[in-house]
Amino acid sequence: MMKMNPNFLSASIGLFALMSSATFAQGPLTPPASGDSVIGPDAALSTGTPVPFMKTLHEVEPRMPISQPASAAAITINTSGSYYLTENLFFLENGISIAADDVTLDLNGFAVTHENLVDGGSAIILQSGVSNITIRNGSIAEGGLLGTVFNNGISSSSNVTNVRVTDLHVRNCANQGIELPKTGGTIVKRCQVRSTTGTGIEAEIVSQCTVNEADSSAIDTRIANGCEVLGPGGILAEVASHCRSTVDGTNAAGLAADLVDDCEGDSQSGKGIAGLLVYNSRGECASGDIGIDAEIVYRSFGQAVNSTGIRADHGVAHSMASSSGLTGTGIRGQNVTNCRTFSNNLAAGILADQTISFSHGNGGSITGVTVIGCSQQLGAPITGTNRFFNKPLP
Amino acid sequence: MIDSSSRIRQSVASFLFLAAAGAVLAQGPLLPPTSANGTIGTVPPISGSGIPQGSMKTLHQIEPRTPVSAAMTISDPGSYYLVQNIAVASGNGIVITAPNVTLDMRGFTVSSTASPAAGTAVLIESTAEQVTIFNGNIRGNVSFSGGSPGSYSGSGFLHGIRAPSLNSENLRLEDVSIDGCLGDGINLEPGSGSGFGGNNSIVTTCLVRNVAGDGIRAEIVEECVVRRCGGNGVTALKASHCAVVTTGSSGVTSEGINASVLQSSIAESPQRGIAAEQAVNCRGAGVSQEGIVGKKLTNCDGSSSQGAGVSADIAVNCRGFSFFGTGLSAQTATNCMGENQSGINGRGLSASCAVNCYGESLSGAFGLTVAGTVSFSTGKRNGGVAIEGGNAIGCTVEGTGSVSVLTKSLGTP
């Protein structure tokens, strides 16, 4: 009978075990076959011993890494998949071009910057016709060495569809900040844009974004929700809710939207809010233009200097307006009811093309075809072809 | 003297001891480094001899979730993530049969080339509940072929994401894009029309395009876009900040948005734009039916070719336009305006009670019609009846129309 050296045996067992462990630590390089159609997390760790189901590094980070390209040349993504940055990237002209459908690009908290002697290019470009694109989580900015900037942060063809951009900072663009078509199913959410010569953000839905110092429109969208804007450009939207816009230094409207709910619009020399239906909102112009200008206004406040606090083509109801200066009017509408105005004594308080009812003026005058149940505290007497149940000046 | 079997036992024991020690150290101490140590990061574990030290992490600790790399059934609770695009030629993509499952699509795409279109990209079976799916794409080759009502054709999945059972409760879907299905895009509620099974489902920030059936069905739908949809665009108990364009499809109902509570949304449909119990700050455009219809509408704008632009029990600060129908129709209308282009029954604004309103008909029947009382309002119908109906108080006429009411007072001409 052959005798085995016990030391050799124990060493062999240990070595074999280590080799086995080393062999299986990363698991197989091929994924489980589709025929193995049931999986669960216990399969890999149920015994407490590493088994072939241990993860590979690819399984830990399966996405495609993007690193700094040689010569700072543009990168083109032409295969569907999920990509992420591994470092800050800089480019001489264009940055990352997406030319395939079904692409997710995670900037992974890194920045894409422009380094050249002159401005130019776009940090991220969506090529013609691509769809199902997501870009998220990072920054786009001017270069740190030469300080040159991209023309556009994100630019796209007009026929891209299903695009989502979230959690980006974009700063200093010679043209647009984030530019997506408004009719393609595009959303920009939780993004911040600062200092663009063109539009700050353009997309179908813009939600919870801030834009500062956009020379053109700060936000141009179909639905604006919970946005805040400050600078030369204001908000353009079909529907705006819970937004605040302050236009400084230009005559652009603070907020121009068809439907406005729960918003604030301020402008230095343009309309505070320009809309069709304005509800539950406040608009103010600091000098020479209208506070709120709409077709109908309800439960809102307008303020102006040498202009009209609230002007409506048709009804104004349950609202309040203030106008100061020599030529201002508190409220001007077709029919006005249950409103209150403060205005300079020389200016009109409430001026209606048809009927004013159950309203009160402080300063100016109340003038309509029919005036019913109104009162005047200061200013001129109430005038109208038909006057009923009014309280004259004290 | 020690015999060989004893040595073997000792060797095995020694190995097991070392293996156990290794297993203990592989996990590192359970306590975090003390603040006196001062450094927390990647340097301490890998800067020394190259030998794993106590603070090394296993790959499982770095990514504890379960990878999914092919079409399959998830039958155990847990957290899963895609590691690559998954493409199938037939059947379903991923089927979830277990409760308490989170599936992170991690930016990847589940696609199908099945022809004819069949299967569901992610199917939530009746045994699954408390499921979250996020961050990915679903792709088929179904496309809108044009026409009105629209027609759709192509290969791919029948449905995008679907939970057909009443038992699948607490479902959440976020940041998913779907393009090209021959059935529904996202349907997390069994039933049809506005009937819901109560699955407590939430869908946010999703994009759906080129689907022949319904776009999105869930209890709450927020910040979603549906375009090129043959059925209903968004059906929800509560929806907000959604944009929808439906094309209609032969033999199916195609409303833009149907919701109990709706906020700040836009919808266009060849049938009805928006149907809501309550809607605030919404715009609906229809063709054969209403632009927007609801019980209580505030600050809403509706337009339609054949139906009423706005139809409501209570309308506040709304505007409606209809080419052949009534611009705005309501039981009570406050600070509203309605316009009608033409039609023998066309009215600008029609209400039981109207206050501070404006109704205009260009060449239809009446500018402003009230069954009860209209006060402080204006009607316009040049060469026709500007205000028609019951009791008019403090009303006026714009243009050359007349007033035809039972009683009038306080300056009504």
Among partner residues A40, A48, A260, which is closest to B75 by beta-carbon distance? Answer: A40
Closest residue of chain A to B319, computed from CA coordinates = A277
> Which run of H or E residues covers position A170?
strand A161-173
Residues B190, B195, B201, B202, CA torsion sign: positive
Q: Does A265 contact B at CB distance below 8 Å?
A: no
Give the span between the Cα atoms of B368 and B350, in whole angstroms: 6
Listed in sequence order, the residues at least 6 apart from B39 whose beta carbon sits closer than 8 Å to its beta carbon are B33
DSSP B150: B
CA B181/CA B167 separation, integer angstroms: 25
Q: Taking the CA atoms of chain A, what radius of gyration do you get in angstroms?
A: 32
Write down the pLDDT at residue A72: 94
- Nearest chain A residue to B337 by CA distance is A314
Percent of chain A with pLDDT over 70: 86
How much is the average pLDDT of B302-313? 97
Residue of B nearest to A14 (CA): B15
CA angle A312, A318, A323 (to 5 degrees): 60
pLDDT at residue A20 in the model = 40
List, for residues A188-229, the tens digit of each pLDDT value.
999 999 999 999 999 999 999 999 999 999 999 999 999 999
Strand partners, A100: none
> What pLDDT was estimated at residue B149?
81
Nearest chain A CA: its distance from B324 CA (Å): 22
Identify the bridge partners of residue A113 per DSSP, sorted by sequence position. A90, A141
Residue that has been written with the tokens 């209400």 in this structure: B351
User: Could you tell me if A372 lies within 8 Å of chain B, comparing CB atoms?
Assistant: yes
Rounded to whole angstroms, the maximal C-alpha distance in chain B is 128
Q: Are strands A340-343 and A315-317 parallel, antiparallel or unpaired?
A: unpaired
Q: Which helix or strand (DSSP H or E) is residue B265 part of?
A: none
3-state secondary structure of A90: strand
B83 contacts A296? CB cut-off 8 A:
no
> Is the backbone peptide bond immediately before B149 cis, with ω within 30 degrees of 0?
yes
CA B237 to chain centre: 10
Q: Over the Cα atoms of chain B, what is R_g?
A: 31
The DSSP H or E segment spanning B14 is: helix B4-27
The verdict on a CB contact (< 8 Å) between B394 and A370 is yes
Output the pLDDT for position B251. Answer: 79
Residue A93 touches chain B, beta carbons under 8 Å:
no
Hey, are the CB atoms on A258 and B111 less than 8 Å from each other? Answer: no
To which H or E segment does residue A61 belong? none
Selecting from B71, B207, B240 the residue whose C-beta is nearest the C-beta of A164 gives B207
Could you give the 3-state DSSP secondary structure of residue B85? coil
Query: Which chain B residues are Cβ-neighbours of A280 within 8 angstroms?
Result: 299
C-beta atoms of A40 and B227 within 8 A: no
pLDDT above 90 (res B80) = yes
Q: How far is CA A192 from the centre of its chain?
A: 8
Q: Is the pLDDT of residue A149 over 80?
A: yes
Give the one of A279, A299, A334 whose C-beta lies nearest to B378's C-beta: A334
CA distance A159 to B64: 40
Q: What is the mean pLDDT of residues A76-95?
A: 97
Which token pair is B185? 């895009």
Q: Are A180 and A202 in contact (CB under 8 A)?
A: yes
Side-chain-side CA neighbours of B379 within 13 Å: the count stands at: 35
Q: Which residue has the higher pLDDT, B33 or A204?
A: A204
- Residue B257: pLDDT over 80: yes
d(CA A341, CA A311): 12
CA distance A116 to chain B (A): 32
DSSP A70: G
Amino acid at B96: I
Which A-chain residues 22-81 have CB contacts (< 8 A) with chain B?
31-34, 36-42, 44-45, 48, 54-55, 57-63, 80-81
Give me the DSSP letters along A269-327: SS-SEEEEEEES-EEEESSSS-SEEESEEES-EEEEESSEEEEESSEEES-EEEEESSS
| Euclidean distance between CA atoms B93 and B279, whole angstroms | 37
pLDDT confidence bin for B53, thresholds 50/70/90: low
| Closest approach of B352 to chain A, Cα-based (Å) | 18
The helix or strand, by DSSP H or E, that contains position B292, with its residue range, turns out to be strand B292-298
* pLDDT given for residue A43 in this prediction: 40
**Percent with pLDDT over 90 in chain A:** 77
Of the candidates A183, A221, A186, which has an alpha carbon nearest to the alpha carbon of residue A200? A221
Q: State the alpha helices, DSSP H only, in B232-386.
A: none
Do residue A164 and residue B175 have CB atoms under 8 angstroms apart?
Answer: yes
At what angle are helices B4-27 and A6-24 packed, to 10 degrees?
Answer: 30
Which chain A residues are Cβ-neighbours of B106 within 8 angstroms?
62-63, 82, 104
Kindly identify which residue of chain B lies nearest to residue A369, measuring between CA atoms: B396
**Could A261 and B7 be called an inter-chain contact, meaning their C-beta atoms sit closer than 8 Å?**
no
State mean pLDDT over B360-380: 96
Q: Which residue of A has its CA nearest to B264?
A: A239
Structure tokens at B231: 């059925």
* Model pLDDT for residues A273-322, shown as the tens digit of each residue: 999 999 999 999 999 999 999 999 999 999 999 999 999 999 999 999 99
pLDDT tens string B281-305 = 999 999 999 999 999 999 999 999 9
For residue A271, which of A257, A280, A111 has the smallest C-alpha distance? A257
pLDDT interval class at B13 (50, 70, 90): very low
- Best of A241, A316, A336 to disrupt the B interface (most B CBs within 10 Å) is A241
DSSP assignment letter at B58:
P
List, as ranges, residues 210-239 from A with C-beta within 8 Å of B. Answer: 222-223, 225, 238-239
| ipTM of this complex | 0.88
Residue B244: closest C-alpha in chain A: A185
- Contact flag A223-B301 (C-beta cutoff 8 Å): no
- Partner residue facing A63 (CB), from B107, B334, B394: B107
CB A185 within 8 A of CB A204: yes
Pairing label, strands A308-312, B94-96: unpaired
Q: Do A6 and B207 touch (CB under 8 A)?
A: no
Nearest to B299 among A13, A298, A315 (CB): A298
- Residues in A closer than 8 angstroms to B292, CB to CB, are none
Contacts of B23 in chain A (CB under 8 A): 48
Q: Which residue is listed with tokens 């690009």? A: A105
Cβ atoms of A169 and A153 closer than 8 Å: no
Q: How far is CA B341 from CA B312, B346, B350, in A?
A: 20, 7, 14
How far does A9 lie from chain B, in Å, by closest CA? Answer: 7
With a CB cutoff of 8 Å and minimum separation 6, the contacts of B17 are none
What is the full DSSP assignment across A71-86?
Answer: GG--EEE-S-EEEEES
